């Protein structure tokens, strides 16, 4: 009995020491919003109160353009993922993008509700606050799912739709970023609020790129810093543990707007099978598969992906 008691004492002591070491090496407290704004907001940045949140957004380009293009980023990303597109589009178009709740400088929903319906309501309130009654709506991953669901809920507000490696069908991932996997594991996901190793963030970003050499230190630093915005790490967990809702999939066939389906051929998170499902279900679409690109083609291959978008808009 004494040996067993001694064994467990040593075991628990070892675990405690290991946890302390892990926390010392990889523990990170939340970053100050003042610090993050100084680094990731610029002259084009503005903030607007929507649903009790101070939402970070950028409204750029041709103010006389009556049909703005509104761009929605994906999970754990930010409006910066569209930087390269916006830099070109704003020369002629009116371009609006924001940090979705749970991510970037905006931070979490006050009620911690991360359902797609909640995001659709948020986009509706944001557009009304910006006096946007009709737009071209584009989104990547989670942003793509929000975009098509918004189009179903408010068809009169969407002129054209752009789906970029969009979520919406049951996932058949061949590889999932480690940060996403941990966020779904009970008990272990509670540690994300305090322990966020830089190598985990880098690995997660590399996972959604086809060409890992394009994942620069500056890019990883941005993802890492914005993940440490107060509330964002818990929000990621809250978002990732939600059950998948397939109830609106049959409604995709009701979307009449011209739609561009833009997909990275090497997307491991949402493989091109989903692109073909959208292509089969949407009655008025154009499907373009981009070779040698992954889950975020507007970031990894800005030039080639934007060429397709420009052609779609002109068409």
pLDDT of residue 180: 85
Cβ atoms of 267 and 294 closer than 8 Å: yes
Reference 278, options 315, 301, 251, 243; nearest CA is 251
Q: Tell me the percentage of the chain whose pLDDT exceeds 90.
A: 77
* Residue 61: pLDDT over 60: yes
- Higher-scoring residue by pLDDT: 26, 277: 277
pLDDT of residue 8: 45
Confidence of residue 190 (pLDDT cuts 50, 70, 90): confident
pLDDT of residue 88: 97
β-pair partners for 260:
162, 286
Confidence of residue 178 (pLDDT cuts 50, 70, 90): confident
Tokens of 220: 């990883």
Quick one: residue 51, left, alpha or beta (phi over 0 = left, psi -120 to 50 = alpha)? left
pLDDT of residue 14: 43
* Residues 31-42 pLDDT 10s: 999 999 999 999
pTM listed for this prediction: 0.90
Confidence of residue 28 (pLDDT cuts 50, 70, 90): low
Cβ atoms of 65 and 94 closer than 8 Å: yes
* Residue 9: pLDDT over 60: no
Question: What is the spatial distance between Cα 155 and Cα 134, in angstroms, rounded to a whole number?
Answer: 9
pLDDT of residue 188: 78
Tokens of 299: 């970031």
DSSP 71-133: EE--TT--GGGGHHHHHHHTTTSEEEEE--TTSTTT---TT----HHHHHHHHHHHHHHTT--
Cβ atoms within 10 Å of 221's Cβ, excluding its own:
14
In the chain, beta strands by DSSP E: 45-50, 53-61, 69-72, 94-98, 135-140, 158-164, 258-264, 285-290
* Residue 258: pLDDT over 90: yes
Question: What is the spatial distance between Cα 23 and Cα 29, in angstroms, rounded to a whole number?
Answer: 11
pLDDT of residue 195: 58
pLDDT of residue 26: 46
Cβ atoms of 179 and 236 closer than 8 Å: yes
* Residue 20: pLDDT over 50: no
Reference 106, options 41, 194, 150, 196; nearest CA is 41
Taking all residues of the chain, what is their mean pLDDT, rounded to a whole number?
A: 90
Confidence of residue 25 (pLDDT cuts 50, 70, 90): very low
Cβ atoms of 248 and 149 closer than 8 Å: yes
Cβ atoms of 142 and 166 closer than 8 Å: no
Q: How far is CA 41 from CA 55, 210, 296, in A?
A: 12, 28, 22
Cβ atoms within 10 Å of 161's Cβ, excluding its own:
25
pLDDT of residue 5: 56
Mean pLDDT of 126-147: 98
| Phi, psi angle pair for 201, to nearest 5° | -65, -45
* Residues 144-166 pLDDT 10s: 999 999 999 999 999 999 999 99
* Residues 278-287 pLDDT 10s: 999 999 999 9
* Residue 113: pLDDT over 80: yes
- Higher-scoring residue by pLDDT: 20, 128: 128
């Amino acid at each position: 009995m004494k040996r067993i008691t001694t064994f467990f004492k040593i075991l628990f002591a070892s675990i405690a020491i290991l946890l302390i070491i892990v926390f010392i090496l990889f523990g990170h407290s939340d970053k100050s919003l003042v610090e993050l704004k100084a680094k990731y907001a610029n002259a084009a940045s503005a903030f607007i109160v929507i649903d009790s949140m101070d939402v970070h957004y950028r409204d750029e380009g041709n103010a006389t353009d009556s049909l703005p293009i509104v761009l929605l980023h994906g999970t754990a990303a930010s409006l910066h993922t569209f930087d390269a597109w916006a830099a070109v589009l704003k020369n002629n178009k009116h371009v609006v993008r924001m940090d979705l709740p749970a991510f970037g400088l905006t931070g979490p929903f006050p009620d911690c509700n991360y359902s797609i319906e909640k995001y659709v309501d948020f986009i509706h309130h944001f557009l009304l606050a910006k006096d946007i009654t009709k737009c071209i709506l584009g989104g990547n991953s989670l942003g793509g799912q929000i975009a098509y669901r918004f189009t179903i809920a408010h068809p009169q507000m969407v002129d054209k739709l752009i789906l970029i490696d969009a979520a919406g069908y049951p996932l058949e991932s061949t590889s999932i970023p480690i940060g996403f996997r941990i966020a779904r594991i009970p008990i272990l996901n509670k540690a994300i609020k305090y322990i966020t190793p830089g190598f985990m963030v880098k690995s997660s970003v590399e996972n959604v790129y086809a060409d890992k050499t394009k994942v620069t230190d500056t890019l990883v630093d941005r993802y890492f810093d914005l993940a440490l915005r107060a509330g964002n790490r818990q929000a990621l967990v809250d978002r990732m543990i939600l059950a998948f809702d397939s109830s609106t999939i049959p409604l995709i066939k009701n979307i009449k707007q011209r739609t561009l389906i833009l997909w990275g051929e090497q997307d491991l998170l949402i493989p091109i099978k989903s692109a073909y499902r959208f292509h089969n279900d949407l009655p008025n679409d154009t499907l373009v598969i981009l070779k040698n690109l992954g889950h975020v083609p507007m970031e990894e291959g800005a030039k080639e992906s934007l060429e397709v978008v420009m052609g779609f808009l002109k068409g």
